[in-house]
Every structure is written in structure tokens, then in C-alpha cells.
């Protein structure tokens, strides 16, 4: 399990990240609170086109602050196109964010409303760059689909990411950043309007994951979400 110089506790949490990562106070930080009355309907936004091959899933790993489901990304078998994007973006991993209680845990909020958790599908621009490592720091390097999760009983039987998406792919989009260090402002965010369900038992399983390295005292990952950041003049566009 991973150890790190940042985390989500008082000593190394989001309020402290700016000391090691000055970009934490940048102009395009994520997440944000989406004020629906201030979003702009953009008729030029295209539908999202998603093609995921479940066979490209290769491993589930505990990274110390969450768990990642990693995907083979050396070809376009699992790819995101359309929406606000003009290039192809390959799926490389997905992960979850949650809170210490079932009432909150999402990173993005909608009109100030917090959700029980949030699911992120992380893609990198394979049209312009040769790898995730090359793309991660570039302004158009990443595209992340964010799906809000509400506390309600739901099946969760496999790690095919397409089964975790809401039935409607209406979305909000804005230019932002990774929500954890290194906080690069390299993300085109696509936040689904509709949420999905997650049960209390599933949330409890997330909180039972351990953040400590092997041999240390067991410390569960009780929460792993960054609070909303200032919009600083950015416009949130809506596809609907």
C-alpha cells in the first residue's frame, strides 16, 4: 500500500496541500460547486461517445488514499470521444471518493448539495500524446468523467465501468484540475447530471480499506474528498 506526503487528515489534508503544491491556489482548481442557474447551455456540445472493453481491466490496487482499477491503455480499445472533446481519450483507470459518513463524500456539489460519493473515470489524450505520464501535465491532457453517487441500495457486481454510468449522459463540463496532488490544471471535466446509487454496505466497504503501509498500525481510509474550490471566472457549460 502506498504512503505519501499528502492525504486527507488535518496535518496533510487539502488545507495543507498548497505548501507543497502551490498550484493548489491556481485559477482552474477542482472540484467545484455547480450552480445550475449560472451554467450556460451550449448547443455546440456533442453527445459523449464511450466505448469500453472490459477485457482491458488489468488490476485493482490500493494506492493509500483510494483504490484504483487500472486498464491497459496501449491502444484504443477503451476510449472516450465527443462531448466537449476534439480528440480521442483512452481510459487508464477509475477510482472512487467517499466520506466518513453516508451523508457526504462527493467532491463536486450541485447547488451546494453533497452526495454520498463520487466516481471518476480517468482518460488521457491519445491523439496528441504517447502516454498518460506525458499527458498529465498538459492543458488538454486529461478528460475525467465524474459521476455523483447517492446513498441507496444498488447492485455492484463487476468492474465494467460502462455499467456504472447513469442511463442519461447529459452533462456539465468545465476546465479544471486533478482533485488531488499534483493538482495539474490539465482536466476537461465532464460531470454527469444524473447520479447513480450506492448502498450503505458498499460505502462501509470503502471505509474499511487501509491507508497505512504494511507493518504499520492499521488506519482505515475514512474519507478522501477535496472540498469545492473557487470558480474564479470559469464558465460551466451544459449539454442539456
Q: Which residues are catalytic?
A: 65
| Residues 225 and 8: beta-carbon distance below 8 Å | yes
**Could you give the angle at the alpha carbon of 232 between the alpha carbons of 95 and 235, nearest 5°?**
75
DSSP string, the chain: ----S--SSTTTSGGGHHHH-GGGGSSS-S--EE-GGG-EE-TTPPPEEEE--GGGEEEEEE-SSSEEEEE--SSTTSEEEETT-SS-EEEEEEEEEE-SBTTB--SSEETTB--SEEEEEEEEETTT-SSHHHHTTSTTSEEEEEEEEEES--------GGGGS-S---EEEEEE--SSTT--S-EEEEEESS-EEE-HHHHHHHHTSB-SPTTSPP-B-----PPP---TT---EE--
CA distance 24 to 230: 11
CA distance 151 to 99: 12
Amino acid at each position: 500500500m502506498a504512503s505519501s506526503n499528502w492525504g486527507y487528515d488535518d496535518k496533510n489534508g487539502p488545507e495543507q496541500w498548497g505548501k507543497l503544491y502551490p498550484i493548489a491556489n491556481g485559477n482552474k482548481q477542482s472540484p467545484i460547486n455547480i450552480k445550475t442557474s449560472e451554467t450556460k447551455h451550449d448547443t455546440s456540445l456533442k453527445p459523449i461517445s464511450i466505448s469500453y472493453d472490459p477485457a482491458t481491466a488489468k488490476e485493482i490496487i490500493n494506492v493509500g488514499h483510494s483504490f484504483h482499477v487500472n486498464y491497459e491503455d496501449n491502444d484504443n480499445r477503451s476510449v472516450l470521444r465527443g462531448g466537449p472533446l476534439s480528440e480521442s481519450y483512452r481510459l487508464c483507470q477509475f477510482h472512487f471518493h467517499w466520506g466518513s459518513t453516508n451523508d457526504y463524500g462527493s467532491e463536486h456539489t450541485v447547488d451546494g448539495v453533497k452526495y454520498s460519493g463520487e466516481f471518476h473515470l480517468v482518460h488521457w489524450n491519445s491523439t496528441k500524446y504517447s502516454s498518460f505520464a506525458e499527458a498529465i501535465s498538459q492543458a488538454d491532457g486529461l478528460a475525467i468523467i465524474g459521476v455523483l453517487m447517492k446513498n441507496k441500495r444498488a447492485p455492484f457486481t463487476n468492474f465494467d465501468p460502462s455499467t456504472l454510468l447513469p442511463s442519461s449522459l447529459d452533462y456539465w463540463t468545465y476546465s479544471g484540475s486533478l482533485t488531488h496532488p499534483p493538482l495539474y490544471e490539465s482536466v476537461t471535466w465532464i460531470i454527469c447530471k444524473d447520479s447513480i446509487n450506492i448502498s450503505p454496505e458498499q460505502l462501509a466497504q470503502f471505509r474499511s480499506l487501509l491507508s497505512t503501509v504494511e507493518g504499520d498500525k492499521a488506519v482505515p481510509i475514512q474519507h478522501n474528498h477535496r472540498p469545492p474550490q473557487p470558480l474564479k471566472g470559469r464558465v460551466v457549460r451544459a449539454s442539456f
